[in-house]
Amino acid sequence: MKHRILLVGGQKIYQEALRFSLKDHAHLDLLGQASDSLQAIAMAQELAVDIVCIDLQTPGMGGIELTRALRHAMPGVKILSIAAHAAQFDVLDMLGAGANAVVTQTESGEEFLRAVRALLSGQSYLSPDVANVVASAWMADKLRSKAQGLLSERERQVLKLMATGHTSNEIAKLIWIAASTVEVHKRNIKRKLDRHNVADLTRYVMTKERGEPRFGGFLPPFCVLHPQDPSRSTAISQSEQNPE
Protein backbone atom coordinates (compact mmCIF):
# COMPACT_ATOMS: atom_id res chain seq x y z
CA MET A 1 0.00 0.00 0.00
CA LYS A 2 1.34 3.37 -1.02
CA HIS A 3 0.96 6.39 1.22
CA ARG A 4 0.25 9.64 -0.59
CA ILE A 5 2.31 12.73 0.31
CA LEU A 6 1.94 16.37 -0.73
CA LEU A 7 4.64 19.03 -0.30
CA VAL A 8 3.57 22.64 0.23
CA GLY A 9 5.81 25.71 -0.17
CA GLY A 10 9.45 25.82 0.88
CA GLN A 11 12.65 26.87 -0.82
CA LYS A 12 13.58 24.95 -3.96
CA ILE A 13 16.78 23.48 -2.50
CA TYR A 14 14.85 22.08 0.48
CA GLN A 15 12.10 20.75 -1.77
CA GLU A 16 14.69 18.82 -3.76
CA ALA A 17 16.23 17.46 -0.56
CA LEU A 18 12.85 16.11 0.56
CA ARG A 19 12.23 14.57 -2.85
CA PHE A 20 15.63 12.86 -2.67
CA SER A 21 14.82 11.51 0.80
CA LEU A 22 11.62 9.90 -0.48
CA LYS A 23 12.80 8.49 -3.80
CA ASP A 24 14.09 5.14 -2.47
CA HIS A 25 10.95 4.34 -0.47
CA ALA A 26 8.46 2.59 -2.74
CA HIS A 27 5.63 2.77 -0.19
CA LEU A 28 5.81 6.58 -0.12
CA ASP A 29 4.25 8.27 -3.12
CA LEU A 30 5.08 11.96 -3.54
CA LEU A 31 2.10 13.11 -5.60
CA GLY A 32 3.16 16.69 -6.16
CA GLN A 33 3.86 20.08 -4.72
CA ALA A 34 1.61 23.06 -4.07
CA SER A 35 3.16 26.50 -4.36
CA ASP A 36 0.64 28.36 -2.18
CA SER A 37 -2.08 27.84 0.41
CA LEU A 38 -5.13 27.75 -1.85
CA GLN A 39 -3.51 25.32 -4.26
CA ALA A 40 -2.50 23.16 -1.28
CA ILE A 41 -6.07 22.81 0.00
CA ALA A 42 -7.40 22.00 -3.48
CA MET A 43 -4.67 19.42 -4.22
CA ALA A 44 -4.89 17.77 -0.80
CA GLN A 45 -8.62 17.20 -1.21
CA GLU A 46 -8.49 16.21 -4.88
CA LEU A 47 -5.62 13.73 -4.40
CA ALA A 48 -6.91 12.42 -1.03
CA VAL A 49 -3.41 12.56 0.44
CA ASP A 50 -2.36 10.90 3.68
CA ILE A 51 0.31 13.43 4.71
CA VAL A 52 0.68 17.12 3.90
CA CYS A 53 4.14 18.61 4.53
CA ILE A 54 3.73 22.35 5.07
CA ASP A 55 6.50 24.95 5.12
CA LEU A 56 5.86 27.61 7.75
CA GLN A 57 6.50 30.37 5.21
CA THR A 58 4.06 29.07 2.59
CA PRO A 59 2.78 31.95 0.39
CA GLY A 60 -0.83 32.97 0.89
CA MET A 61 -2.32 32.50 4.32
CA GLY A 62 0.95 31.15 5.76
CA GLY A 63 1.78 27.73 7.16
CA ILE A 64 -0.01 28.13 10.48
CA GLU A 65 -3.34 29.28 9.04
CA LEU A 66 -3.06 26.69 6.27
CA THR A 67 -2.59 24.00 8.92
CA ARG A 68 -5.71 25.21 10.70
CA ALA A 69 -7.71 25.28 7.44
CA LEU A 70 -6.61 21.77 6.44
CA ARG A 71 -7.37 20.41 9.89
CA HIS A 72 -10.93 21.76 9.48
CA ALA A 73 -11.36 20.60 5.87
CA MET A 74 -9.66 17.18 6.27
CA PRO A 75 -9.75 16.10 9.94
CA GLY A 76 -8.05 12.78 9.22
CA VAL A 77 -5.06 14.07 7.26
CA LYS A 78 -1.62 14.00 8.90
CA ILE A 79 0.15 17.35 8.88
CA LEU A 80 3.93 17.64 9.06
CA SER A 81 5.04 21.24 9.63
CA ILE A 82 8.47 22.38 8.52
CA ALA A 83 10.08 25.46 10.09
CA ALA A 84 13.35 27.17 9.22
CA HIS A 85 14.30 27.23 12.91
CA ALA A 86 12.88 25.95 16.20
CA ALA A 87 11.45 29.31 17.30
CA GLN A 88 9.24 28.81 20.35
CA PHE A 89 6.13 30.71 19.29
CA ASP A 90 6.21 29.29 15.74
CA VAL A 91 6.49 25.74 17.03
CA LEU A 92 3.74 26.12 19.63
CA ASP A 93 1.45 27.90 17.18
CA MET A 94 1.90 25.11 14.62
CA LEU A 95 1.03 22.49 17.20
CA GLY A 96 -1.90 24.57 18.39
CA ALA A 97 -3.18 24.86 14.81
CA GLY A 98 -3.27 21.08 14.49
CA ALA A 99 0.12 19.90 13.21
CA ASN A 100 0.88 16.25 14.02
CA ALA A 101 4.62 16.64 13.60
CA VAL A 102 7.16 19.46 13.44
CA VAL A 103 10.71 19.32 12.07
CA THR A 104 13.18 22.03 11.12
CA GLN A 105 15.10 22.56 7.92
CA THR A 106 18.34 22.27 9.86
CA GLU A 107 17.63 18.56 10.42
CA SER A 108 18.68 15.84 7.98
CA GLY A 109 16.49 14.08 5.45
CA GLU A 110 16.54 11.03 7.71
CA GLU A 111 14.84 13.07 10.43
CA PHE A 112 12.14 13.99 7.92
CA LEU A 113 11.65 10.28 7.18
CA ARG A 114 11.43 9.50 10.90
CA ALA A 115 8.61 12.02 11.15
CA VAL A 116 6.80 10.47 8.17
CA ARG A 117 7.16 6.96 9.60
CA ALA A 118 5.86 8.14 12.99
CA LEU A 119 2.79 9.72 11.39
CA LEU A 120 2.03 6.60 9.37
CA SER A 121 2.19 4.52 12.55
CA GLY A 122 -0.30 6.80 14.28
CA GLN A 123 2.16 8.77 16.39
CA SER A 124 3.00 12.44 16.62
CA TYR A 125 6.59 13.56 16.18
CA LEU A 126 8.93 16.43 17.01
CA SER A 127 12.51 16.54 15.83
CA PRO A 128 15.04 16.78 18.70
CA ASP A 129 15.61 20.55 18.42
CA VAL A 130 11.86 21.19 18.37
CA ALA A 131 11.28 18.76 21.27
CA ASN A 132 13.76 20.72 23.38
CA VAL A 133 11.87 23.94 22.67
CA VAL A 134 8.50 22.38 23.54
CA ALA A 135 9.82 20.82 26.74
CA SER A 136 11.33 24.14 27.85
CA ALA A 137 8.11 25.99 27.05
CA TRP A 138 6.06 23.40 28.92
CA MET A 139 8.22 23.75 32.02
CA ALA A 140 8.00 27.54 31.84
CA ASP A 141 4.23 27.31 31.38
CA LYS A 142 3.95 25.16 34.50
CA LEU A 143 5.95 27.67 36.51
CA ARG A 144 3.87 30.57 35.21
CA SER A 145 0.65 28.73 36.05
CA LYS A 146 1.86 28.42 39.62
CA ALA A 147 2.86 32.07 39.63
CA GLN A 148 -0.58 33.09 38.34
CA GLY A 149 -2.05 31.66 41.53
CA LEU A 150 0.27 33.94 43.48
CA LEU A 151 -1.04 37.12 41.86
CA SER A 152 -3.21 39.20 44.15
CA GLU A 153 -6.66 40.31 43.06
CA ARG A 154 -5.31 43.82 42.47
CA GLU A 155 -2.40 42.48 40.41
CA ARG A 156 -4.78 40.49 38.22
CA GLN A 157 -6.83 43.64 37.75
CA VAL A 158 -3.76 45.64 36.73
CA LEU A 159 -2.60 42.84 34.42
CA LYS A 160 -5.87 42.82 32.46
CA LEU A 161 -5.80 46.61 32.08
CA MET A 162 -2.17 46.46 30.90
CA ALA A 163 -3.13 43.85 28.32
CA THR A 164 -5.85 46.11 26.93
CA GLY A 165 -3.35 48.92 26.34
CA HIS A 166 -3.93 51.20 29.33
CA THR A 167 -1.05 53.31 30.62
CA SER A 168 -0.07 53.42 34.29
CA ASN A 169 -1.82 56.78 34.75
CA GLU A 170 -4.99 55.48 33.12
CA ILE A 171 -4.96 52.33 35.27
CA ALA A 172 -4.45 54.46 38.38
CA LYS A 173 -7.53 56.53 37.57
CA LEU A 174 -9.66 53.51 36.71
CA ILE A 175 -9.00 51.59 39.92
CA TRP A 176 -8.44 54.57 42.22
CA ILE A 177 -4.82 54.05 43.24
CA ALA A 178 -1.62 56.06 42.77
CA ALA A 179 0.34 55.70 39.53
CA SER A 180 3.41 54.79 41.60
CA THR A 181 1.45 51.90 43.12
CA VAL A 182 0.52 50.72 39.63
CA GLU A 183 4.22 50.62 38.77
CA VAL A 184 4.90 48.47 41.83
CA HIS A 185 2.14 46.07 40.76
CA LYS A 186 3.59 45.93 37.24
CA ARG A 187 7.03 45.00 38.51
CA ASN A 188 5.56 42.28 40.72
CA ILE A 189 3.47 40.87 37.87
CA LYS A 190 6.43 40.68 35.49
CA ARG A 191 8.57 39.03 38.14
CA LYS A 192 5.94 36.45 39.12
CA LEU A 193 5.00 35.54 35.55
CA ASP A 194 8.53 35.87 34.20
CA ARG A 195 7.24 37.95 31.30
CA HIS A 196 8.92 41.27 30.87
CA ASN A 197 7.18 43.12 28.05
CA VAL A 198 3.60 44.11 27.29
CA ALA A 199 3.35 41.88 24.20
CA ASP A 200 4.13 38.74 26.19
CA LEU A 201 1.77 39.76 28.99
CA THR A 202 -1.00 40.48 26.49
CA ARG A 203 -0.52 37.06 24.86
CA TYR A 204 -0.62 35.45 28.29
CA VAL A 205 -3.93 37.14 29.21
CA MET A 206 -5.51 36.29 25.85
CA THR A 207 -4.53 32.63 26.19
CA LYS A 208 -5.92 32.40 29.73
CA GLU A 209 -9.18 34.15 28.85
CA ARG A 210 -9.78 31.83 25.88
CA GLY A 211 -9.37 28.92 28.24
CA GLU A 212 -6.73 27.47 25.93
CA PRO A 213 -3.58 26.76 27.89
CA ARG A 214 -0.86 25.66 25.49
CA PHE A 215 -0.39 22.26 27.06
CA GLY A 216 -3.45 21.55 29.21
CA GLY A 217 -1.38 19.92 31.94
CA PHE A 218 0.60 17.51 29.78
CA LEU A 219 2.88 17.48 26.78
CA PRO A 220 1.43 16.33 23.48
CA PRO A 221 2.85 13.04 22.19
CA PHE A 222 6.28 13.77 20.76
CA CYS A 223 9.77 12.43 20.26
CA VAL A 224 12.82 13.25 22.32
CA LEU A 225 16.43 12.26 22.05
CA HIS A 226 17.16 8.73 23.19
CA PRO A 227 19.15 8.97 26.47
CA GLN A 228 21.84 6.48 25.38
CA ASP A 229 21.98 7.31 21.69
CA PRO A 230 21.35 10.92 20.56
CA SER A 231 20.88 9.73 16.98
CA ARG A 232 17.72 7.85 17.95
CA SER A 233 14.34 9.29 18.85
CA THR A 234 11.73 7.78 21.15
CA ALA A 235 8.00 8.43 20.99
CA ILE A 236 6.36 9.34 24.29
CA SER A 237 2.63 8.90 24.74
CA GLN A 238 0.38 10.99 26.95
CA SER A 239 -0.05 8.12 29.40
CA GLU A 240 3.73 7.86 29.86
CA GLN A 241 3.97 11.60 30.52
CA ASN A 242 1.01 11.66 32.88
CA PRO A 243 0.99 8.25 34.58
CA GLU A 244 -1.69 9.21 37.12
The whole-number average pLDDT for the span 184-201 is 84
Q: Which domains does the chain have, with CATH numbers?
A: 3-126 (3.40.50.2300), 128-237 (3.40.50.2300)
The 10 Å CB-count burial string (b at 16+, else e) for 168-199 is: beebbeeeebeeeebeebbebbbebbebeeee
User: Which tens digits make up the pLDDT trace of 1-12?
Assistant: 789 999 898 766
The model's pLDDT over 54-75, given as tens digits with 9 standing for 90+, comes to 998 888 888 999 999 999 999 9
Query: What does the pLDDT read at residue 90?
Result: 80
What pLDDT digit, counting tens, does each position of 72-101 carry? 999 999 999 988 887 767 888 888 899 999
What's the 3-state SS for the chain? CCEEEEEECCCHHHHHHHHHHHCCCCCEEEEEEECCHHHHHHHHHHHCCCEEEEECCCCCCHHHHHHHHHHHHCCCCEEEEEECCCCHHHHHHHHHHCCCEEEECCCCHHHHHHHHHHHHCCCCEECHHHHHHHHHHHHHHHHHHHHHHHCCHHHHHHHHHHHCCCCHHHHHHHHCCCHHHHHHHHHHHHHHHCCCCHHHHHHHHHHHHHCCCCCCCCCCCEEEECCCCCCCEEEECHHHHCCC
**CA torsion through residues 90, 92, 93, 97, sign:** positive
Q: How confident is the model at residue 215 (pLDDT cuts 50, 70, 90)?
A: very low
Model's pTM, two decimal places? 0.60
What percentage of the chain exceeds 90 in pLDDT? 27
Please report which confidence band the pLDDT of residue 240 belongs to, taking 50, 70 and 90 as the band edges.
very low
